[in-house]
Copies of this chain bind each other. A is one copy, B any other.
């Protein structure tokens, strides 16, 4: 088998599974979680990629977002990957925002990260091949969402793979890593000091450089501790306005950066994706 099943459990009439495989992209074992809705028993179902944030694994979104209930109603498969390669032989950093648990959904070019930190290829190429081949997934109906660093991943993967993801959303995303401390630190480490190389993994720079997205839903809590320094949704708002991208940016008073925020609005995101993924492709 190209992957190993670690556990499965019945959940809302479907199956919540945890899996592991040897990744050729990262050169390490990688874990991922999949929720397969009940509708998949009879036909391939649309796939929503759910990318987690700094420090997270495949367990955070699967366990805490509360997405399975509505996904089961809508017939959406949820694919929830880990956020980086891991292991004793894999480069790491003592800080939470670099190295293991902080892959930033890009392919590193700099030592010591380049050897394993190839989460861009992993999420965009390798894992979709595995899912398409071995799960009851309709790979012509893919959407993508994510939280924080995972929101950055969702936006940049959608921008760099036009036509691949028919629906896009994010929770409290890093929209401009070139313009925030998390991003500047990670991009310097993974891609080197030349900021020109960063533009290909920065959502706002990609849009300024001509990349385009489908209409996109972004939710942002106004009590989020990272709002002003790291997240800066106003930069995405300006970039989308200038480029004519239809951005629905909802600002929520009182909500923070946690999964308590995500769970409160996940149903809206699932509805957003289902409405676009169940439409016939253009």
Contact = CB atoms under 8 A, between A and B. Distances in A.
A182 to B, nearest CB: 21
A264 interface: yes
Contacts of A16: 260
Interface of A: 9-13, 16, 63-64, 66, 68-69, 221, 223, 252, 254-256, 258-261, 263-264, 267
A64 B9 CA distance: 14
A264 B12 contact: yes
What is the copy number of this chain in the assembly?
A: 2
A211 to B, nearest CB: 34
Contact of A260 (B9, B223, B258, B263): B9
Contacts of A254: 10
Contact of A68 (B223, B255, B263): B263
A64 B230 CA distance: 28
A221 B258 contact: no
A259 B259 CA distance: 17
Nearest to A64: B63
Contact of A264 (B11, B221, B256, B264): B11
A63 B258 CA distance: 11
Nearest to A13: B264
**Which of A11, A13, A259 has the most CB atoms of chain B within a 10 A radius of its CB?**
A11
A38 to B, nearest CB: 11
Given A63-B259, A68-B260, 20 more contacts: A9-B261, A10-B221, A10-B223, A10-B252, A10-B254, A10-B255, A10-B256, A10-B260, A11-B261, A11-B263, A12-B264, A13-B264, A16-B260, A63-B63, A63-B64, A64-B64, A66-B69, A66-B263, A68-B263, A69-B69
